[in-house]
Copies of this chain bind each other. A is one copy, B any other.
Amino acid sequence: MLTAAIGTWKLVTGRADKLFAGASEERLYTELAPGKNRLIYLWGHLTAVHDRMLPLLGLGPRLHPELDAIFLTAPDKTVAELPSTADLTSAWAGVNAALLAGFDSLTPAQWLERHADVSPEDFAREPHRNRLAILLNRTNHTSFHLGQAVLAPK
């Protein structure tokens, strides 16, 4: 069952990788539709959210906490200077590699343990708030933004 969950993560992350890392500089700075977010913002947003999964799943410290102020807290087009495409490409690849290595290190029992954002008391009442739920949720989060990203003009 874990194979299926990690397989879906890989499939969806691979699609996102192809779309974002394969986009031209010009396309990255294009809005999805008039007045909407730009592709570069979605990409940075996904990188920040994936980076936060590392401590959330107990897989280690964050690699790029500096992304939050640009891609999570602030809306698009409010921060003057974004990371270069080369830096974002590298952050995205590094975070996803760290996650995949971490996924492989977890036993099935550990996938059903609580994640770091839920207290032992809350977890006793809500045992579905486990690592696996984070994996499934974040896979769908990527799909959500991927659906938006494909709308950006080619």
Contacts and interface: CB of A to CB of B under 8 A. Distances in A.
Interface of A: 1-5, 7-8, 11-12, 32-34, 36, 108, 111-112, 128, 130, 132-133, 136-137, 139-141, 143-148, 151
How many copies are assembled?
2
Q: In terms of DSSP, what is the predominant structure of the interface of chain A?
A: helix
Interface centre among A7, A136, A145 (most CB of B within 10 A): A136
Given A33-B34, A34-B33, A147 B136 contact: no
Contacts of A145: 147
A74 B141 CA distance: 28
Contacts of A3: 128
B33 A1 contact: no
Contacts of A33: 32-34, 36, 151
A139 B111 CA distance: 20
Contact of A151 (B12, B111, B148): B148
A1 B128 contact: no
